[in-house]
Amino acid sequence: MKKEIMNYDTLLKVTHGVVMSKDPEEVALLIVESVKNALEAKGCALFLFNRKTNELEVAASMGLSEEYLNKGPLSAMLSISRSLKDGPVAIDDVTDDPRIQYPEAAIKEGISSILSVPIVLREKPIGVLRVYSAEPWEATLEDVNFAQAVAQIAGMALEMSRLYKGLKDSIEILKTKRASKPSKSER
């Protein structure tokens, strides 16, 4: 029961943040921090799909090292690609799952399990929200539904930001963010 209340509180916090902010980076950071805390996870990351490169690019993360985030390009076709098309994918053990693109990096980062849910906008996948656990974790249906609800809110928030800024595609939010703000490593 306590977890359900925390999930509802998190949904309220995230939707309030989306409504109050027009800054996509601020909203993305609020989303990953809120999901990480609500699910008591090691980390959380929001990736956006770059249709030109066919890769997923980090929009925001919490609890993951720069080394892990910069381990190499995340091919949308290789790295848990089913979550982009078919819905949530839960990886119970990163050491023994062929869907993991960089298993050695995940092990080195201390990641044991991953839940990946698509961010969909008008039936078109625009990214994924990933939750990383340091301990073996079998995501419950409640965990998956919660992550999916937050991913849908993230999709709406990114669309609102995109429209507000007059951009053609969600990935452009990252490009305008990078052009206007120093990266985490530059701070």
- Judge whether residue 131 has pLDDT over 90: yes
Model confidence over 13-53: pLDDT tens digits?
767 666 666 677 888 888 999 999 989 999 999 998 887 88
Q: Would the pLDDT of 179 be above 60?
A: no
Pairing of β 55-62 and β 74-75: antiparallel
DSSP state of 99: T
Backbone angle region of 8, left / alpha / beta, with phi > 0 → left and psi within -120 to 50 → alpha: alpha
At residue 184, the pLDDT reads 46
Average pLDDT, stretch 61-90? Answer: 76
Looking at the predicted structure, is the pLDDT value of residue 187 above 50?
Answer: no
Among the four given CATH numbers 1.10.10.10, 3.30.460.10, 3.30.450.40, 3.40.640.10, the one describing domain 2-176: 3.30.450.40
pLDDT at 21: 66
* pLDDT tens digits, 83-125: 566 688 899 999 988 888 888 999 999 999 999 999 888 878 8
Residue 87: predicted pLDDT = 80
> What pTM does this model have?
0.79
**Burial code of 144-173, b = ≥16 C-beta within 10 A, e = fewer?**
bebbbbbbbbbbebbebbbeeeebeebbbb
- At 169, the pLDDT band (50, 70, 90 cuts) reads low
* Domain extents in the chain: 2-176
Give the model's confidence band at 5: pLDDT under 50 very low, under 70 low, under 90 confident, else very high: low
The whole-chain average pLDDT of the chain stands at 79
Crossing angle of helices 141-165 and 24-38, rounded to 10°:
170
- Helix (H) / strand (E) element for 158: namely helix 141-165
Instruction: Please state, in angstroms and as integers, the Cα–Cα distance from residue 155 to each residue in 1, 25, 53, 135, 170, following that order.
Output: 28, 13, 20, 28, 9
**Cα–Cα distance for residue pair 131/117, rounded to 1 Å:** 9
